[in-house]
């Protein structure tokens, strides 16, 4: 039983990495939002499962937060933003999908090697879970780097943050307050960035971040 | 002892044939005489190699010292299992090329530029294999390079050939320089040039690393490892086709031999990153080679690029063997090395066959450009059938031989999770993927090549009027084709024959395969993996026969010939067929955009104009542009700088000499 | 006695795959039609189609060569042999040691090689378009498939299908790398069988078609044989996924006859589930542009690589 429980936890963590890759692969706005919602749902399931097997009922709170906030509210809100801004066309990526994927695989390999080297005495499954969390984090970062559009950058940021939460719940004994504060910080970030999006659009008629470079004086 | 004497006599015979070829320049049947003599010598050498391989494991190596060459050194010769294996591979290819030459050589415009060098080239390659000291190794290596260079320049009237010869000469010189330094390091400050003393030498990590890199450069430049491959697709196709077959199928194997001899045998313990380096270089070579082949329009150059790919596959096998060896996993190392050697044998077979086929096409049509060929399956049915066999073998399709070596390499990859090094753990799965990618791309490459050259409708008048080639050429093609099939059906005996060679290098060999029922091969254990080419072949044959029989009994047997359907829009012009560029378009868009800088532009005429739209395709050889193209510029710039030294005063010259002297003395003082 | 029984099972399997292949196609078509609120053709329509085709005369283009006439039989034979070597209702058949999973992949590669050549034989633009795209898809799908094989082989310690199936039955557990391999294998199966979203098996006269473009010049019994081979290939992939990832009910070596009956029944059940899921998937998704397909199959390549990497790096499995 215990082995199976750990296996499921491991599988959920692995699916987080998989969904992160799906995020990298998507080049359509709405699909991106759907996948992000999917990632939040997987995350919530993963946290809830951890709560169940660690016998830590306080973990159900972040699971619920992840499900409601990131699985439903934020995607819906972003959807409205996208419709309002009229940017539901294809996302322009800075790097092509193929190279991005290869980079992503390289990052996963890197986090695997680092985690397994750093924690050579711990339980192998726990080590791999940590490695998965690190991969999700790095893939979120990669997404922020390789996308031009502000909305997909927000999603990259939040997927990065999902990686943090995954790491936190996997490691036993993360205080509840920290988790809740992380969740709310994301909400704040979302609101701030959302407002910024509209302000940017008002000023520059686009949400392509490269358009902003000109006003920084970087481009003549 | 006697076997070595027979080998030497045959090599001497080859040299004599060379001289004879010059002496008999008036004889009308000179072509036949020279090639027959070369074929005979190859048979003798082949027999020597096979006998040594077939002999019991414990047989002592035949050693001989000839009192010629450098004073106090002489020429040391030795035949161990490794040289015997390569003797067999090389003379098998040499025999085929000689037979092919009997027919093909008749069409040669300037036989005087090929005939004297052909036997000399064979002799040079054989001497490299038998050499047991650095001096004779290097001399025979150079001899081999120069003889092949002379044949590359046989058609020196063409500007492209002259460029190919120039680049080849430069690269061969560069490679030999690297080998010279390798042997210098191997011999050490007090060392001796005989291999036997080199083997006993100890090397610290720095010099071992340098030896590895220099050997990789020296042997790799001859084998065609990226980025040292630039000369190969120029030089191999420029020679007459049977010489191309020898250079591509056989001479590259001499280079592989050189690498194995230096790194596995003489060096002793290579540095820990040796396997990493070889695996990376091999993977890059495999993928870039096959991609370039896919983009190529010239049939012979396509085959040359495909050689580069296969060399990459062989070096992947060697890299795996190095990785296993350094981690004391002899069984796995033996499997990887067997796979590499098996692939070397296979490649020499099917690449010879394919170059013979391209020679036949060249004889029949005087065309190498894919876009001017087509439909040859109707005009040259035997060549077409044999070329198909070669294409399937090189595409690693069961039940032919290419698949067996590829399969063995995959099995070796599957043994590697036990390797402790992190870098290898991350790299090896990627290498496995690259190997599979290269195999799939090779299949794509040969679908395209075969489909455009032999299938479809002829794209030029020459292709429409082609006739089948002579019997000698066909016979020379039948032999490797048959061997490709046999090696695919009965891989067990071949693995066993490679066994002693592998044992002499690794200290272990794969389990004996011949005793297994039905010629199955089982690399490690039956529960792990097994393959039976013979049964697969039989099953396919029986199923085909059943299908044919059932259908011809129950189905309508009526056949009607009609114009092609083509969705209702058939066009009589053969130009509407897929061309060489369009057949590779999907793959080009997927892979070549970033790797080869493929750029497509379509120029549309302005509205109302009746001019045709033009499609332009630009490919950039990234390696040539980044590595080779800057060299002349750098040389010119530095020459300009150094030019000032031509115009110094005597006092300045003296001070230069004085400074040099003081610096040297200082160096001597500081030296530990 | 045991030998004879084992020969009989092997023979039964060869006939079984032949008998069931068109049925699977018919079933999938029927489910698709029902999902689209059509009545759809009868489930045994593919058999009727095949019979109709073999009764017709074969019309061959004037400049078709012998390769054009030989290829269909070779394609069929290679696919049939491959399909007969995948365990369906029982493992460890008489000849299962002949070929491992790598060989089965390569056998399908041989069939594709011949098919792509046949597409170029007549020298029409449609044949060329189909062949050139098919080899492009294959150049990504084949490495992806081999990486899936690597993953399975590393988990089960064998590339033999029977051994892997036995292992899966006895050591069933959830593993991330196996999940990745399953996803990759499904994508490869969709691509190899020219299903939506890679290619549309129901279209003709459409510029994005691949498989249909290659076989455009075929008619009569040749077309029948090729269609049959395509059906066999679909069956092969469904059986492969079933025996690797859902091996429950499969008869093991030395089981009683009743186990074989259970195996056969569960196999038919698995095929039905496979066909159902395929139909559901195909009705819920649109076909892709041709040059988006490499990205799609590229996912399989990536998943396969990730799976192998996981197994390599963390030796814990």
What one-character DSSP code corresponds to residue B416? G
A164 band by pLDDT with thresholds 50, 70 and 90: confident
Q: Is B326 helix (H, G, I), strand (E, B) or coil?
A: helix
B1 pLDDT higher than 60: no
More confident of the two residues B130 and A168: B130
B188 pLDDT higher than 50: yes
B652 pLDDT higher than 90: no
Distance (Å) from the C-alpha of residue A163 to the closest C-alpha of chain C? Answer: 17
**Contact present, B219 and B263 (Cβ < 8 Å):** no
Indicate the residue of A96, A98, A113 with minimum beta-carbon distance to B422: A113
> Is the sign of the CA dihedral B391, B394, B398, B400 positive or negative?
positive
> Is the sign of the CA dihedral A144, A145, A146, A150 positive or negative?
positive
More confident of the two residues C276 and B670: C276
> Pairing relation of β-strands B75-79 and B62-66?
antiparallel
Boundaries of domain holding C204 = 2-313
**3-class SS letters over chain A:** CHHHHHHHHHHHHHHHHHHHHHHHHCCEHHHHHHHHHHHHHHHHHHHHHHHHHHCCHHHHHHHHHHHHHHHHHHHHHHHHHHHHHCCCCECCECCCHHHHHHHHHHHHHHHHHHHHHHCCCCCHHHHHHHHHHHHHHHHHHHHHHHECEHHHHHHHHHHHHHHHHHHHHHCCCCCHHHHHHHHHHHHHHHHHHHHHHHHHHHHHCCCECHHHHHHHCCCC
pLDDT of amino acid A174: 58
| All structural domains of chain A with their residue ranges | 2-216
Can you read off the two tokens belonging to residue B620? 């950039």
Share above pLDDT 90 across residues of chain B, in percent, rounded to a whole number: 58
The Cα–Cα gap between A79 and B451 comes to 50
SS3 content of chain C, % helix, strand, coil (to 5): 70, 0, 25
The count of structural domains within chain C is 1
How far, in Å, are B1, B79, B211, C209 from residue B59 at the CA level?
Answer: 11, 11, 30, 62
A99 contacts B594? CB cut-off 8 A: yes
The Cα–Cα gap between A174 and A176 comes to 6
A210 pLDDT higher than 70: no
C216 contacts B565? CB cut-off 8 A: yes
B324 pLDDT higher than 70: yes
Q: Which residue of A has its CA nearest to B590?
A: A98
pLDDT of amino acid B485: 95
Average pLDDT over residues A151-168: 82
More confident of the two residues B648 and C132: C132
**A interface with C, Cβ–Cβ below 8 Å:** 3-4, 7-8, 10-11, 13-15, 17-18, 21, 25, 97-98, 101-102, 104-105, 108-109, 112-113, 116, 124-125, 127-128, 131
Distance (Å) from the C-alpha of residue C174 to the closest C-alpha of chain A? Answer: 6
Average pLDDT over residues B64-70: 78
How far, in Å, are B312, B488, C97, C166 from residue B527 at the CA level?
Answer: 30, 22, 9, 11
Distance (Å) from the C-alpha of residue C164 to the closest C-alpha of chain B? Answer: 9
Which of A98, A110, A118, A135 to mutate against chain B (most B CBs within 10 Å)?
A98
Indicate the residue of C179, C298, C314 with minimum beta-carbon distance to A11: C179
Can you read off the two tokens belonging to residue C37? 């609120």
pLDDT of amino acid A125: 66
Which of C136, C298, C302 to mutate against chain A (most A CBs within 10 Å)?
C302
Stretch 451-480 of chain B: residues touching chain C, C-beta under 8 Å: 451-452, 455-457
A216 pLDDT higher than 70: no
Q: What is the pLDDT of residues C138-161, one digit of tens each?
A: 999 999 999 999 999 988 888 888
Q: Is B2 helix (H, G, I), strand (E, B) or coil?
A: helix
First-to-last alpha carbon distance for chain A, in angstroms, is 64
C73 contacts B544? CB cut-off 8 A: yes
CB atoms within 10 A of CB B382: 15
**Is C161 in the A-facing interface, judged by CB distances under 8 Å?**
no
pLDDT of amino acid B193: 82
More confident of the two residues A105 and C314: A105
Indicate the residue of B395, B535, B587 with minimum beta-carbon distance to C95: B535
- For chain C, helix (H) and strand (E) counts, in that order, are 11, 1
Phi-psi region of A217 (alpha: psi -120 to 50; beta: other; left: phi over 0): left
Alpha-carbon A142 to chain mean position: 11
pLDDT of amino acid A195: 64
A220 pLDDT higher than 80: no
pLDDT of amino acid C74: 95
Phi and psi (nearest 5°) for B485?
-65, -45
Average pLDDT over residues B236-252: 93
Q: What is the pLDDT of residues B520-557, one digit of tens each?
A: 888 887 778 889 999 999 999 999 999 999 988 888 88
Indicate the residue of A98, A99, A109 with minimum beta-carbon distance to B426: A109
**A interface with B, Cβ–Cβ below 8 Å:** 96, 98-99, 109, 113, 117
**Is C284 in the A-facing interface, judged by CB distances under 8 Å?**
no
Distance (Å) from the C-alpha of residue B426 to the closest C-alpha of chain A? Answer: 7
C62 contacts B563? CB cut-off 8 A: yes
**Contact present, B35 and B98 (Cβ < 8 Å):** yes
Global pTM?
0.91
Q: What is the pLDDT of residues C163-211, one digit of tens each?
A: 888 888 887 677 788 888 999 999 999 999 989 888 887 776 566 678 8
The Cα–Cα gap between C236 and C24 comes to 11
Please, is B57 exposed, middle or buried when counting C-beta atoms within 10 Å of its C-beta (0-12, 13-18, 19+)?
exposed
pLDDT of amino acid A219: 46
Determine which of A83-92, B73-82, B290-299, B427-436 has the lowest per-residue pLDDT on average: A83-92
- Largest distance between two CA atoms of chain B: 103
Contacts of C295 in chain B (CB under 8 A): none
Residue B618 belongs to what H/E stretch?
strand B614-618
Alpha-carbon B634 to chain mean position: 31
Indicate the residue of B437, B528, B565 with minimum beta-carbon distance to C157: B528
pLDDT of amino acid B14: 93
Q: What angle do CA C9, C12, C18 make, to 5 degrees?
A: 145
B347 pLDDT higher than 90: yes
Stretch 595-654 of chain B: residues touching chain C, C-beta under 8 Å: none
C317 band by pLDDT with thresholds 50, 70 and 90: very low
**Contact present, B456 and B500 (Cβ < 8 Å):** no
C60 contacts B451? CB cut-off 8 A: no
**Is C143 in the A-facing interface, judged by CB distances under 8 Å?**
no
Stretch 228-287 of chain C: residues touching chain B, C-beta under 8 Å: none
B543 contacts C81? CB cut-off 8 A: yes
The Cα–Cα gap between A115 and A171 comes to 13
Contacts of C309 in chain A (CB under 8 A): 105, 108-109, 112
Contacts of A117 in chain B (CB under 8 A): 422
CB atoms within 10 A of CB B641: 9
pLDDT of amino acid B260: 95
More confident of the two residues B303 and C253: B303
Can you read off the two tokens belonging to residue B470? 């002579």
pLDDT of amino acid C224: 94
Can you read off the two tokens belonging to residue A172? 């036993």
Nearest Cα to Cα of residue B242 among B475, B575, B585, B577: B475
Indicate the residue of C106, C133, C294 with minimum beta-carbon distance to B398: C106
């Amino acid at each position: 039983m215990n082995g199976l429980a750990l296996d499921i936890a491991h599988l959920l963590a692995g699916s987080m990495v998989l969904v992160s890759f799906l995020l990298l692969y998507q080049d359509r706005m709405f699909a991106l939002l759907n996948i992000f919602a999917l990632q939040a749902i997987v995350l919530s399931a993963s946290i809830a499962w951890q709560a169940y097997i660690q016998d830590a009922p306080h973990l159900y709170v972040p699971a619920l937060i992840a499900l409601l906030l990131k699985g439903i509210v934020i995607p819906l809100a972003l959807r409205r933003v996208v419709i309002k801004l009229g940017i539901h066309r294809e996302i322009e990526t800075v790097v092509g999908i193929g190279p991005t994927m290869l980079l992503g695989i390289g990052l996963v390999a890197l986090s695997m090697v680092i985690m397994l080297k750093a924690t050579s005495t711990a339980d192998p499954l726990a080590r791999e879970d940590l490695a998965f969390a690190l991969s999700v984090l790095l893939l979120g970062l990669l997404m922020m780097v390789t996308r031009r559009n502000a909305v997909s950058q927000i999603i990259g940021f939040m997927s990065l943050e999902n990686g943090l939460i995954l790491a936190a719940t996997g490691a036993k004994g993360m205080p509840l307050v920290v988790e809740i504060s992380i969740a709310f910080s994301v909400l704040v970030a979302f609101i701030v960035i959302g407002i910024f999006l509209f302000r940017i659009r008002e000023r520059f008629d686009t949400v392509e971040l490269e358009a902003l470079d000109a006003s920084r004086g970087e481009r003549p | 002892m006697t076997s070595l004497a027979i080998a030497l006599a045959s090599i001497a015979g080859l040299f004599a044939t060379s001289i004879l070829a010059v002496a008999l320049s008036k004889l009308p049947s000179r072509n036949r005489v020279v090639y027959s003599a070369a074929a005979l010598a190859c048979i003798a050498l082949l027999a020597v190699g096979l006998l040594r391989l077939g002999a019991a494991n414990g047989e002592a190596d035949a050693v001989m010292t000839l009192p010629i060459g450098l004073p106090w050194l002489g020429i040391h010769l030795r035949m161990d299992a490794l040289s015997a294996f390569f003797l067999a591979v090389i003379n098998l290819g040499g025999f085929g090329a000689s037979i092919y030459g009997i027919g093909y050589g008749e069409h040669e415009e300037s036989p005087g530029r090929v005939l004297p060098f052909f036997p000399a080239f064979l002799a040079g390659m054989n001497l490299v294999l038998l050499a047991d000291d650095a001096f004779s190794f290097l001399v025979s290596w150079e001899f081999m390079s120069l003889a092949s260079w002379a044949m590359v320049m046989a058609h020196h009237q063409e500007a492209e050939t002259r460029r190919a010869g120039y680049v080849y000469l430069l690269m061969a010189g560069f490679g030999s320089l690297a080998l010279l330094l390798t042997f210098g390091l191997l011999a050490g400050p007090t060392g001796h040039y005989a291999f036997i003393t080199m083997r006993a030498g100890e090397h610290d990590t720095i010099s071992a690393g340098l030896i590895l890199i220099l050997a990789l450069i020296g042997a790799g430049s001859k084998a065609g490892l990226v980025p040292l491959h630039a000369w190969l697709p120029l030089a191999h196709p420029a020679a007459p086709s049977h010489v191309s077959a020898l250079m591509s199928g056989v001479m590259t194997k001499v280079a592989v031999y050189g690498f194995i001899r230096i790194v596995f045998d003489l060096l002793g313990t290579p540095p820990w990153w040796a396997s990493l380096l070889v695996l990376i270089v091999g993977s890059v070579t495999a993928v870039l080679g096959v991609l370039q082949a896919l983009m190529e329009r010239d049939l012979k150059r396509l085959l040359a690029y495909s050689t580069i790919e296969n060399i990459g596959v062989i070096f992947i096998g060697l890299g795996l063997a190095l990785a296993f060896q350094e981690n004391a996993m002899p069984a796995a190392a033996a499997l990887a090395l067997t796979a590499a050697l098996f692939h070397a044998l296979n490649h020499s077979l099917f690449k010879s066959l394919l170059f013979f086929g391209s020679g036949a096409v060249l004889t029949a049509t005087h065309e190498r450009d894919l876009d001017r060929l087509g439909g040859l399956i109707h005009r040259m049915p035997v060549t077409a059938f044999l070329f198909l066999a070669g294409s399937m073998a090189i595409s690693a399709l069961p039940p032919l031989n290419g698949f067996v070596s590829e399969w063995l390499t995959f099995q070796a990859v599957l043994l590697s999770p036990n390797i402790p090094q992190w870098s290898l753990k991350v790299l090896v799965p990627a290498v496995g993927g690259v190997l599979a990618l290269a195999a799939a791309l090779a299949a794509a490459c040969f679908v395209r090549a075969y489909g455009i050259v032999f299938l479809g409708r002829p794209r030029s008048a020459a292709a429409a009027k082609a006739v089948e080639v002579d019997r000698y050429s066909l016979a020379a093609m039948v032999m490797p084709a048959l061997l490709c099939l046999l090696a695919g059906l009965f891989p067990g005996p071949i693995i066993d024959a490679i066994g002693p060679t592998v044992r002499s290098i690794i200290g272990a060999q794969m389990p004996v395969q011949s005793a297994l029922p039905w010629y199955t091969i089982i690399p490690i254990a039956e529960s792990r993996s097994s393959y039976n080419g013979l049964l697969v072949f039989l099953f396919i044959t029986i199923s085909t026969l059943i299908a044919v029989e059932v259908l011809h009994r129950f189905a309508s047997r009526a056949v009607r010939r009609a114009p092609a359907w083509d969705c209702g829009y058939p066009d009589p012009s053969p130009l509407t067929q897929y061309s060489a560029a369009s057949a590779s378009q999907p793959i080009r868009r997927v892979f070549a955009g970033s790797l080869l800088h493929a750029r497509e532009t379509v120029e549309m005429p302005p509205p109302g104009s009746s001019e045709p739209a033009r499609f332009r395709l630009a490919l950039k050889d990234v390696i040539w542009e980044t590595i080779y193209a800057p060299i002349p510029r750098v040389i010119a710039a530095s020459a300009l700088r150094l030019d000032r030294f031509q115009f110094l005063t005597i006092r300045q010259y003296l001070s230069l000499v004085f400074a040099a002297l003081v610096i040297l003395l200082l160096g001597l003082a500081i030296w530990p | 006695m045991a030998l004879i029984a084992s020969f009989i099972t092997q023979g039964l399997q060869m006939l079984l795959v032949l008998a069931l292949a068109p049925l699977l196609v018919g079933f999938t078509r029927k489910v698709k039609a029902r999902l689209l609120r059509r009545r759809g053709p009868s489930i045994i329509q593919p058999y009727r189609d095949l019979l109709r085709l073999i009764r017709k005369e074969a019309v061959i283009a004037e400049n078709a060569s012998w390769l054009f006439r030989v290829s269909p039989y070779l394609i069929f034979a290679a696919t049939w042999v491959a399909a007969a070597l995948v365990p369906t209702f029982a493992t460890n058949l008489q000849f299962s040691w002949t070929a491992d999973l790598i060989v089965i992949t390569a056998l399908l590669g041989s069939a594709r090689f011949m098919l792509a050549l046949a597409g170029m034989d007549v020298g029409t633009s449609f044949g060329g378009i189909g062949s050139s795209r098919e080899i492009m898809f294959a150049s990504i799908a084949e490495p992806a498939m081999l990486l899936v094989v690597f993953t399975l082989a590393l988990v089960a310690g064998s590339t033999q299908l029977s051994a892997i199936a036995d292992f899966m039955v006895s050591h069933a557990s959830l593993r991330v790398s196996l999940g990745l391999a399953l996803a990759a294998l499904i994508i490869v199966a969709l691509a190899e069988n020219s299903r939506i979203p890679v290619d549309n098996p129901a279209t003709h006269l459409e510029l994005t078609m691949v498989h249909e473009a290659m076989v455009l010049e075929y008619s009569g019994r040749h077309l029948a044989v090729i269609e049959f081979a395509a059906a066999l290939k679909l069956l092969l992939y469904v059986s492969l996924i079933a025996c690797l990832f859902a091996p429950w009910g499969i008869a093991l070596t030395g089981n009683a006859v009743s186990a074989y009956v259970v195996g056969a029944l569960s196999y038919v059940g698995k095929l039905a589930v496979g066909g159902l899921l395929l139909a559901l998937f195909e009705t819920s998704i649109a076909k892709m542009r041709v040059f988006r397909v490499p990205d799609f199959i590229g996912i399989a390549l990536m998943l396969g690589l990730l799976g192998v990497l996981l197994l390599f790096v963390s030796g814990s499995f």
